[in-house]
Structure 1
Amino acid sequence: MLIGSEADGAPAAAAPAPAMPLQTFVNHLEQERAASSDGLRSWRSGEEMELSAIGILGDAVAPRRTLGEALRLFARGFPVLQSNSRISLEVIGDEAHVCYRVLDPRIWPRRADAELTLGLIRGICDRYAVPNSAIQDLCFEHQSDRDLRVLAHHLGRTPRFGQDENRIVFSARVLANTLRAEAGGDDVMTLSKRLDEALTELRRQTPVAQRVHELILAQMERGLVNQCHIAAQLGMSERSLRRALAAEGQPFHEILEECRRVHGFALLVRSDRLFGEIALLLGYSDQTAFSRAFSRWYGASPRELRKMGAEEVSVIR
């Protein structure tokens, strides 16, 4: 999380608080959730959060005229708030899908984080007078471990668990809803410029290898992980990308292999997908190549890994 000192109530002139590692942040939320008997604690924390509490991103989102503008800006600027994660907004027919993922499969479980983040998105929607009746679906990656009636009663819809991603779906018509009250403070253009500058600085400071790693994890299941495609997304030629990664001592094939290892392990132990399907999702030519790679990495076959998966907490080794 990249929340500065002003968000914590410190004077504006104070030095920014250091970034909290995402693993630490998610673990902290999970511990708070486990210690509370309130089934809505994490959701409400997000839903009731003031946008000013999330710093420059919240400041830029707050005055946007329509919900569509606010959510698109929130998705684009999310990296300044939280690393190794992705928010997306996609309109499919008459539905608007807002999805949230922590890209690193090793950060698990992350129930509280998912509930907090989707709650925050619901809170943004509330600023634009979106009723609960507009919500058409609510999905979580994690399995249900609480009484569903509390959240179902709060939203008027029973969530679905064990899904591919965390997602809230509502009628696309509400994207045109306008802000309930006129926002004060700096003008929209100034706030957007500050966010753009923060994103540019973040990209400048982030190692190329880390950016490649996140892009691969974000798109692996869509088959868009070849070096040419990743280079294009970074605005680089393949040759420039190879040079940059060589300078950091992390060639593309090693990053790709690591992403296959951690993402493949998560698919094995947290889903019931067929081994052949997982092999294709990871970009292997056939199931045999996939099995050989995982046997080499873990000293056990994919079938054996799946059997022992219930006892695994993390793929960090």
Structure 2
Amino acid sequence: MPHTYQPRISATTLNDPLRAVEFMNGDSGRIFRTAGIGPDDLEGEIGLKKFVDFCEHASDQLGLPDFGWRVGSVFDLQNLGTLGDFIMQAPTLGAALSLFRNAFPMVQSDSELQLTLEGGKALMTYRILDTGIWPRRQDAELTLSVFHSLVKSATGPDWQPDLLSLEHESSALQSRSSAGPRCPVQIAAASNTLVFPAALLDLPLADSESPAFKAASQSMVRTARQSEREAPVAVRVRRELLMRIGRESFEQTAIATALGMSRRTLRRKLEEEGQKFSRLLAGCRMEIAKRMLRAPGAQLHDISERLGYSEVSAFERAFRQREGATPSQYRKQASACGATVLGVSALGSGPGS
């Protein structure tokens, strides 16, 4: 991304994570400093990475690996401003989740939020479209917990999802504890997804339909789309690439169409920003590759296939040319660095540290 551009999130989303830290006697000031959050960040918008880092550091400091899920289960939708107010005025659960999906860029940028139907199941999917924001375990679980609570507000407290999929490699939610989703949890998935019966989307949510809901929701969706269009073209291309790679066509014409322009116009606008589509595509592929190579058990064939290379050798060649090492060498180096960090952490946590 251009160095002046930073993914952002409404600062009010910090209200409940901060409240949870203070309720459990955590050192919020220390967490703020560690996450790089200053007084000016608490008004308007905050960098998305700072929000994610706050949640990660809060989990570590409090010794609560399920911190994100706990906060999400009591998250006040009014933290989302007007969007949160109207989500709770939606006539049905489906209308509420659809508004959440379509107007989400009002609250948080550079993120994927999808509501899809597959074989009688509804899939609510969430993912940050910036591979540099990692780890992001607590943010992912917090967000899915918000969706989980919204579904429960329509179904009742005893409801359980069919499945929870998470993009990180481990989760405290796998324990099936009463505080978690109490359902099967899949880890190392392509995205974070809550799965439940599609029939639940028709359940009523509000006591009565708000006359202003339809007009307000349409206005918020227009505002959200305009917010996305205001980002640099290179950023918008990266978003589309990171959403599409491994799922659907990410050829230049398909990306241009998704952005509402011709291939020629897209090329011209990228040139005006000093960018090329091929360079952006290569960068996104390598970012995804490095993320997957750091995950245990990922096979080169699977990585190559997801990235759209015809053969593993083509992936290995492209990776070596860009990163100066083969995928296998990179994986060994990353593993060694991880072991070193773990060793230092272990030494630093003993008596007298």
Q: Residue 249 of structure 2 aligns to a residue in which SS? A: coil
Determine the structure 2 residue equivalent to 1:287. Answer: 312
Contact in 2 for aligned 1:152/1:158 (Cα 8 Å): no
* CA RMSD of superposed structures (Å): 2.6
Alpha carbons of 1:200 and 1:99: their partners in 2 closer, same or farther (altered >3 Å)?
A: closer
* Cα drift, residue 200 of structure 1: 3.5
Q: Is the Cα contact below 8 Å between 1:139 and 1:161 reproduced in 2?
A: yes
Does residue 1:309 correspond to 2:334, yes or no? yes
TM-aligned CA deviation for residue 5 of structure 1 = 6.6
Is 1:249 matched with 2:274? yes
SS at match of 1:212: helix
Aligned to 2:124: 98
Q: How does 1:180-219 map to 2 (within 5 A)?
A: 180-182=206-208, 187-219=212-244
Deviations 1:265-284 (A, max 9, x none): 11222153332332232122
Q: TM-score, normalised by structure 2?
A: 0.78
Q: Distance in 2 between matches of 1:296 and 1:258?
A: 12
When residues 33 and 231 of structure 1 are mapped into structure 2, their CA distance, relative to the original with a 3 A threshold, is same
Q: Deviations over 1:213-262 (max 9, x none)?
A: 01000110024111100011111111111111111111111111111111
Residues 1:130 and 1:91: Cα distance change in structure 2 (over 3 Å): farther
1:261 aligned residue: 286
Deviation at 1:204, TM superposition (A): 3.6
CA contact (8 A) 1:98 1:168 kept: yes
1:1-317 pair list within 5 angstroms: 1-3=8-10, 17-144=43-170, 146=172, 148-149=174-175, 151-152=177-178, 154-182=180-208, 187-311=212-336
Q: What letter is aligned with 2:81?
A: G
Cα pair distance change 1:246/1:310, threshold 3 Å: same
| 8 A contact 1:87–1:98 mirrored in 2 | yes
Report if aligned partners of 2:10, 2:45 keep a CA contact under 8 Å in 1: yes
Q: AA paired with 2:144?
A: L
Deviation at 1:132?
A: 4.2
TM-score, length-normalised on structure 1? 0.87
Task: Write the letter of the residue equivalent to 2:326.
Answer: S
Instruction: Tell me, yes or no, if the aligned pair for 1:209 and 1:245 is still in contact at 8 Å.
Output: yes
Report SS of the residue matched to 1:78: helix
Indicate conservation of the 8 Å contact 2:110/2:128, yes or no.
Answer: yes
Shift of 1:306: 1.9
C-alpha deviation, 1:22, in angstroms = 1.7
SS for the counterpart of 2:164 is strand
Listed one character per residue, the Cα deviations across residues 160-195 of structure 1 (whole Å, up to 9, x for unaligned) are 3233321111111111110153477x7113321331
Unaligned runs of 5+ in 2: 1-7, 16-41, 339-353
Q: In the superposition, relative to structure 1, how do residues 6 and 233 fare at CA in structure 2: closer, same or farther (>3 Å)?
A: closer
Amino acid at match of 1:171: P
Instruction: Report Cα offsets for 1:127-147 as digits up to 9, x if no partner.
Output: 222554441111222233547
Distance (whole Å) between structure 2 residues aligned to residue 282 and residue 293 of structure 1: 11
Give the Cα separation in 2 of the matches to 1:269 and 1:56: 39
C-alpha distance in 1 between matches for 2:152 and 2:294: 37
Query: Following the alignment from structure 2 to structure 1, what is the Cα–Cα distance between the partners of residues 155 and 101?
Result: 20
Distance in 1, matches of 2:297 and 2:96, equals: 36
Q: How many residues align?
A: 306
Give the SS at the match of 1:2: strand
Equivalent residue letter for 1:181: D
Paired residue for 1:12?
none
Q: Once structures 1 and 2 are overlaid, which stretch shifts more, 129-138 or 66-75?
A: 129-138
